[in-house]
Amino acid sequence: MTDKSTEELVVDSVKAKFPEDVIDAKVQRKNRVSISVRGNKIYDIGLFLRDELGFDHIASVSGIDYIDAKEFEVIYYVWSMDKKVLVGLRTKIPRDNPTLKSLVDVWEGGLYHEREIWEMFGIKFEGHPNLSLLLLPEDWDGPPPLRKDFVLPETHQERLEEKIKKLSGG
């Protein structure tokens, strides 16, 4: 046995397998690993993580809107039941054409998470079987609400101003 920790072994094996596609891989702290990868390569790396390293449970999927860099970041948090390590698998995609190959084939538990990211950020997941509204109201027709450039509909704002005027005046 080497004296390397499980987290470092995960980082090393991913780096060795995909030297081109892994931008950054590091151990954040005990039980936490962060791996940034290039674009749609996330699918292959996800398969590798699941089949070779035993990351079998998808904990969450989240998105970040970097409006100044004109990029979205999608993060898949996957957990290994044996290793007890949580990997944040990150990828950045351009803001003007946000499409990403869906990882539902790899981790089926990502179905609802990807739907949520789709409705909140407008990121299209190619190959996702059912991209429909999950948390938003059924008649929602505005832009995705968690984007940084989202502004409330005008009627909503007018109503708010009216209310504030009424409350401060009376």
Partner 1 sequence: MLEKVGKSLMSIKLLRKVFNWGRAWSLWSVHLETGCCGPEDMARACARFDTERFGTLPFPTLRECDLIFVTGFVTKKMAKRLKIVYEQMPEPKYVIAIGHCAISGGLWWDSYSVVQGVDEIIPVDVYVPGCPPRPEAWIQGIRMLQEKIAKEGVKKK
Q: Which residues bind partner 1 (CB under 8 A)?
A: 135-138, 142, 145, 150, 152, 156, 159-160, 163, 167
Nearest-approach distance from CB 63 to partner 1, in angstroms: 16
Is 46:35 a contact under the CB 8 Å cutoff? no
Nearer to partner 1 by C-beta: 108 or 138? 138
- What are the contacts of 91-94 at 24+ separation with CB within 8 A? 91/36, 91/37, 91/38, 91/39, 91/40, 91/41, 91/42, 92/36, 92/39, 92/66, 93/39, 93/123, 94/70
Can you read off the two tokens belonging to residue 84?
Answer: 């007890």
Look up residue 78 and give its two tokens.
């996957």
Q: Between 69 and 135, name the residue whose CB sits nearer to partner 1.
A: 135
| Minimum CB distance to partner 1, residue 2 (Å) | 49
| 38 vs 147, beta carbon nearer partner 1 | 147
Residue 23 C-beta: closest distance to partner 1, Å: 33
Compute the least distance from the CB of residue 165 to partner 1, in Å.
Answer: 14
